[in-house]
Chains A and B, each alone.
Chain A
Amino acid sequence: MSATRRLQKELGDLKNCGVKAYENVECEETNLLKWTVLLLPDKEPYNKGAFKVGITFPVDYPFKPPKVAFETKIYHPNVDEEGKFCLPIVTAENWKPATKTEQVMMALLSLINEPEPNHPIRADVAEEFQKDHKKFMKTAEEHTRKHSEKRPE
């Protein structure tokens, strides 16, 4: 019961947070536990596209962390081909029940804007990012154009 009340409040708060980068959030009509956020990174090479992020909340939320993954393909050293990434604040060991989805989105946005090539999930992409940055930017831009969603006006 408490999960429903908190999720409703968080959903409203996120919609009205005023941060364009993650305020576009939809929740499944019949399921408050499934959200989709349209992430709008503001740094190149990702600032030309929009990326769908799926958030699945467990029934015992907020005592267990939500599962967060990209639904849109993204070419990034810290995101794998299935859209999975490692964000310490949503792992089971580090999860704190007072963490709000807005904070999770903030952390994700910062990871996308500023890749961490020293802690990669895709070693090949990280190597390219560090050794041939130009090529990386070109590939990532193309990838963004090809796979990402349209940014809302």
Chain B
Amino acid sequence: MPNVVTILLQDRKMDQRRNITLNVDNNENIAELMKNVEKLTNIPSEELEVVFCGKKLAKSTFMKDLSLTPATQIMFLRPKNLVQLTNSKFDSNNKITDTSILGSFYVWCKKCDDVQRGKLRVYCQNCASTSVLVKSEPQNWVDVLKSKRIQVTCENCFAPGLFADFKFKCLKCNDLAAALTHVRGNWQMTECCVCDGKDKVVIDLGCNHIICQNCFKEYLLSTLEEFRFTNRPPYGFTTSCVYPGCNRVVKDVHHFHIMGQSSYSEYQRKATERLISIDDEGVTCPNAACGQSFFWEPYDDDGRSQCPDCFFTFCRKCTERECTCQSDDDLTKITIDATTRRCPRCNAATERNGGCAHIHCTSCGMDWCFKCVTEWKEECQWDHWFN
């Protein structure tokens, strides 16, 4: 299948640069591409280096393994002194020989609304040019996800002390996408530990407890139903591996996109609400039809807040429209106080009309113990399950 590639020729010997557009066959390799460039430019192919994705390409690399699109730019570099370049500036081992690393990972593509195979591209942090060479090979995800880890030299701007700017793209539509570090190919065809199915693309949180995408989605949806995501800084509200006893967590919430757009939005909304309710200056609207979470303004405070969503105004302490904190003779208040206990997080008056001591607050979602009126703990599980 023919493909169009843009070649940026940096001719240091003649101090020139030019752009070349070439039709290439995906079954051609780099050596053949170099011959084509030689024909067009009369520059002997021995004097050229081919740089792509921050690295020099081996002559045996096939075009089809580079995941090219018409927008892709490949740099041809003709150094002033070939001997000097190959000997001193760059490690001669630093060549892409295994092209599988270019497309062996997965991304969440917003445009495709799906998990897709991804590709990694390298740019100069200063001028955004692709004419860069990495000084060292990225060793792990951190090297490409965090900035300022991999140094580069840029053949375009030559600025000193440059770092690589890595970007992930969707292999299908070429849009920028988020890398999904937990999604990988199922090389050994391991069974999903939930359904025993054997999928080609699976989720692995780093513990080798393989789960297929379908089961992962179901698991997330059931976790979302009761919002059992827990706050695990620095990852945010997340969930753990499906395997009993395994505490590995999903380290990047982008994976929750797998639930689908509307569920992901619900996750985001509830996680925000939860975060606000943990904060001293966060409050949940007591209006049963609303339940919006928001931060109240700490200055000039009279103890009352108005919900920005439904405009219900209430006392934050007793959560009533007409504050009942001061009145001792209010029969309603006396009855409520006598028959309920207050959620330790959102202060919602809670009546227990049966069942065990484990309360799941429908207002803020907190799990608490009706007996100790604190967060539900393992001891409560044992000692207060039934009164």
List residues of chain A with CB under 8 Å of any chain B CB.
2, 5-6, 9, 60, 62-64, 80, 84, 86, 88-89, 91-93, 96-99, 103, 116, 118-119, 121
Classify the secondary structure of B's interface with A. Answer: loop
With contacts A6-B196, A96-B242, A98-B242 taken as known, whether A63 is within 8 angstroms of B383 at the C-beta atoms is no
With contacts A91-B381, A96-B242, A103-B244 taken as known, whether A2 is within 8 angstroms of B195 at the C-beta atoms is yes
Partner of A98, one of B226, B243, B381: B243
Q: Which 7 pairs across A and B sit closest by C-beta, in order of nearness?
A: A119-B382, A63-B222, A98-B193, A98-B242, A98-B243, A97-B242, A99-B244
With contacts A6-B194, A9-B196, A91-B381 taken as known, whether A64 is within 8 angstroms of B222 at the C-beta atoms is yes
Give A44 Cβ to nearest chain B Cβ, in Å: 24
* B385:A86 contact, CB within 8 angstroms: yes
> With a CB–CB cut-off of 8 A, which chain A residues contact B214?
2
> With a CB–CB cut-off of 8 A, which chain B residues contact A2?
195, 214-215, 218
Tell me the complex Cα distance, A98–B240, Å.
12
Tell me the complex Cα distance, A116–B385, Å.
14
With contacts A5-B195, A6-B195 taken as known, whether A88 is within 8 angstroms of B244 at the C-beta atoms is no
> With a CB–CB cut-off of 8 A, which chain B residues contact A6?
194-196
Tell me the complex Cα distance, A143–B279, Å.
53
A3 — nearest CB in chain B belongs to which residue? B195
With contacts A97-B215, A98-B244 taken as known, whether A121 is within 8 angstroms of B386 at the C-beta atoms is yes
Give B5 Cβ to nearest chain A Cβ, in Å: 45
B220 — nearest CB in chain A belongs to which residue? A63
What are 24 pairs between A and B in contact, CB < 8 Å?
A2-B195, A2-B214, A2-B215, A2-B218, A5-B195, A60-B218, A60-B222, A62-B194, A63-B218, A63-B222, A86-B381, A86-B385, A88-B378, A88-B381, A89-B244, A92-B226, A93-B376, A96-B246, A97-B194, A97-B215, A97-B242, A98-B211, A98-B244, A119-B383
* A98:B222 contact, CB within 8 angstroms: no
With an 8 A cutoff between CB atoms, is B219 at the interface? yes
A118 — nearest CB in chain B belongs to which residue? B382
> With a CB–CB cut-off of 8 A, which chain B residues contact A9?
196
Interface hits, B349-387 → A, CB 8 Å: 367, 376, 378, 381-383, 385-386
Tell me the complex Cα distance, A96–B209, Å.
12
Quick one: CB contact mask for B213-241 with A, threshold 8 Å, 1 for yes?
A: 01100110110001010000000000011
Classify the secondary structure of A's interface with B. Answer: loop
State which size class the interface on B falls in. Answer: 20 to 34
Partner of B386, one of A5, A62, A63, A80: A80
A99 — nearest CB in chain B belongs to which residue? B244
* A121:B243 contact, CB within 8 angstroms: no
Give A128 Cβ to nearest chain B Cβ, in Å: 18
> With a CB–CB cut-off of 8 A, which chain B residues contact A91?
381
> With a CB–CB cut-off of 8 A, which chain A residues contact B211?
98
Give B40 Cβ to nearest chain A Cβ, in Å: 57
Tell me the complex Cα distance, A9–B367, Å.
34
Tell me the complex Cα distance, A89–B241, Å.
14
With contacts A2-B195, A2-B215, A93-B376 taken as known, whether A86 is within 8 angstroms of B222 at the C-beta atoms is no
> With a CB–CB cut-off of 8 A, which chain B residues contact A98?
193-194, 209, 211, 242-244
> With a CB–CB cut-off of 8 A, which chain B residues contact A103?
244
> With a CB–CB cut-off of 8 A, which chain B residues contact A88?
378, 381
A10 — nearest CB in chain B belongs to which residue? B196
Given contacts A86-B381, A86-B385, A88-B378, 8 further A-B contacts (CB under 8 A): A2-B218, A5-B196, A9-B196, A84-B386, A96-B240, A96-B242, A97-B242, A98-B194
* B219:A97 contact, CB within 8 angstroms: yes
> With a CB–CB cut-off of 8 A, which chain A residues contact B221?
63
> With a CB–CB cut-off of 8 A, which chain B residues contact A116?
382
* B209:A86 contact, CB within 8 angstroms: no
Partner of A93, one of B209, B228, B243, B382: B228
Interface hits, B225-284 → A, CB 8 Å: 226, 228, 240-246
> With a CB–CB cut-off of 8 A, which chain A residues contact B219?
63, 97
Tell me the complex Cα distance, A5–B194, Å.
11
Quick one: CB contact mask for B162-176 with A, threshold 8 Å, 1 for yes?
A: 000000000000000
Give B365 Cβ to nearest chain A Cβ, in Å: 12
Tell me the complex Cα distance, A114–B189, Å.
40
Tell me the complex Cα distance, A96–B246, Å.
9
Tell me the complex Cα distance, A91–B226, Å.
13
> With a CB–CB cut-off of 8 A, which chain B residues contact A118?
382
Give A77 Cβ to nearest chain B Cβ, in Å: 11
> With a CB–CB cut-off of 8 A, which chain B residues contact A99?
244
> With a CB–CB cut-off of 8 A, which chain A residues contact B378?
88
Tell me the complex Cα distance, A96–B240, Å.
9
Give B195 Cβ to nearest chain A Cβ, in Å: 5
Tell me the complex Cα distance, A6–B214, Å.
14
